[in-house]
Amino acid sequence: MTRIPRATSLLSGLRFALLYVALAFGANPVAAAPLDRQTILDMRTGEMRKFAVYKSPIELPVYALIDMDNNDHSMDEFKGKYVLVNFWATWCAPCRKEMPSLDALQKKMRSDNFEVVLIATGRNPPPAIRKFFEEAKLNSLQTLRDPTHQLANMLCIYGLPISIILNPEGKEMARMQGDANWNSPEAVAFLQTLIAGTDG
């Protein structure tokens, strides 16, 4: 996992971050699956064992992200579906390593119920992002940007990559630190089971 520099915006989000940590550590990392809890626990095989699935989903802060053309966006746009949010950076080697598998996952699983959303946090100039996407032949993914680290700081994301799963209400229900092969049978089965069996 690659460490990211702390931004001055950390102070502005400190109070939310402290509350977020308290909620996250208060939420036991067990699957919140009233319909099929044991199945979800059993499906966390291989790299998916790194996922912590919270008992109580956590509300995200309201914060404006920008796209490659500097247009404002919000995570509220993705409510109504499960979202795998991947925080990454062009200078992060583990992020670059896992990106093709995220692209393959998006191509395989994107639907009205699921989507992969990238958030490039920190200094990631659009030309550098476009160059990486072209070199890695990423055709199914798009990325939003968090250039000041503010959202990352609010969510206590101090290393990259970190992936979180949002439920249809837009609340964080699971988190993983580090890279993974997202197109592996274990990853696909875990996500499909989580989506099908969890009432967030």
Phi/psi class of residue 121: alpha, beta or left (left: φ > 0; alpha: ψ in -120 to 50)? beta
- Structure confidence at residue 10 (pLDDT): 45
Mean pLDDT score, 93-119: 97
> Which domains does the chain carry?
2-197 (3.40.30.10)
Enumerate residues 6+ apart whose C-beta is below 8 A from 16: 61, 154
pLDDT in tens, 55-96: 788 999 989 999 999 999 999 999 999 999 999 999 999 999
What's the predicted TM-score (pTM) here? 0.82
Using CA atoms, how far apart are residues 39 and 54, in angstroms rounded to an integer? 16
- Structure confidence at residue 48 (pLDDT): 94
Could you tell me where the DSSP H helices lie in 13-143?
A: 14-26, 37-43, 93-109, 126-136
Q: What percent of the chain has pLDDT over 70?
A: 78
* Residue 102 near residue 133 (C-beta atoms within 8 A): no
* pLDDT higher at 185 or 16: 185
- Structure confidence at residue 2 (pLDDT): 65
Q: Is the pLDDT of residue 164 over 50?
A: yes
Cβ-based neighbour number of residue 5 at 10 Å? 8
pLDDT in tens, 8-28: 344 444 444 444 444 444 444
